[in-house]
Structure 1
Amino acid sequence: MAYYRRTYSKPGRRGRTIRVGDALPRFISNMDKTGGHALVKLWRAWDDLMGEMAHMVRPLGHRGTKIILAAEDPIIMQEAQFLSEQLLKTINDFLGEEVFDKVVFELLNGRVPLDGEIRPEAPEPPRKLKKPKNLGDLNDKLDPDSPIGRCYRAYRRMFEDS
């Protein structure tokens, strides 16, 4: 028994294939209803956009139409508040529309800003001390009750314990 399948073309479809790289931006922009894609671009371009001010004030996020910026020092935060209108204009010009209407400043207090990742410094590996060849030769020459004699005995014990 033979089966026949009827195919109907969807309206607006041309029947041609396009590259994924060409279709993906339109697909993502249709899915992005909250403007998150534009904000990611802002966070990534923060250093170029803000210039010298970028290292003093970092983006933390947003709440509605308020952008939250952080500073590590209260004095820098106070000075940045005087420039809030200029910062707001620069940010909205970059986004191409008025997305934010207010700038809120907070202290960073160990939080990670959105434009980068702060990596904690790796602890230094413990150093392996090399025992000196003539360790203990000065025992007879140093007064055991003097500060130098006590320090020398502590230094010698450091190698005996390990």
Structure 2
Amino acid sequence: MGYRRHYNKKGRANRLSRLGRVLPGMLEKLDTDNNLKLVRLWRAWDGLMGDMADMARPLGHRGRKLILAAEDPIVVQEASYLAPLILETVNNFFGEEVFDKVLFELLNGRVPLGRQRATARREPPLKYKKPSALGALNDTLDPDSAIGRCYRAYQKIFEEE
């Protein structure tokens, strides 16, 4: 258990308080940019937004503008029509007007709040088996034709191995 020591100014008498009771109030005073409120929002996002939660996720904020992100441009367009409803839902969650505008952006590889970055395993590139008759068509195909150039490019795949 953590404790915080209080001093009063006159006699500087010590008084201990549990850190768990004092810390939330101290953090609220220090949080001038509403970052703690945003943390509460993304933790409750799935329950708050229901079916729409996976379409647009909180990405951050700029001042009083809530930034939501989606993976698809069509979803961004459609979700922008729901911005007033989203704004009302979010501000009702806080019980006060924290945000006055909702902006939508594409994810473009960024990770929305509350989601872990997926570590994608890269699979080794496929190994192609070299055809036994590779190069047999070199004399019959025109080297300047599109098919002839493609065939020579195909041969280079196996020459580099």
Flag structure 2 segments of 5+ consecutive residues without an equivalent: 1-6, 126-131, 134-161
Deviation, structure 1 residue 15: 3.8
Give the equivalent residue in structure 1 for 2:25: 26
Partner of 1:109: 108
| Correspondences of 1:9-24 after superposition (within 5 Å) | 9-10=8-9, 15-24=14-23
TM-score (norm 1): 0.66
Aligned residue for 2:9, secondary structure, equals coil
Corresponding residue number in structure 1 for 2:80: 81
**Residues in 2 aligned to 1:12 and 1:94: alpha-carbon distance in whole angstroms:** 44
1:62-97 CA distances to partner (integer Å, 9 max, x unpaired)? Answer: 111111111111111111111111000011111221
2:76–2:105 Cα contact (<8 Å) kept: yes
Cα 1:11–1:114 shift into 2, 3 Å = farther
Aligned equivalents of 1:12, 1:109: Cα separation in 2: 59
Please tell me whether residue 68 in structure 1 is matched to residue 64 in structure 2. no
Which structure shows the bigger proportion of residues in strand conformation? 2
Would you say how many aligned residue pairs link Structure 1 and Structure 2? Answer: 124
Provide the residue aligned with 2:96 in structure 1: 97
Structure showing greater radius of gyration is 1
Q: Which residue is 1:136 aligned to?
A: none
Which range moved further: 113-122 or 62-71? 113-122
TM-score (norm 2): 0.66
Unaligned runs of 5+ in 1: 1-7, 127-143, 146-162
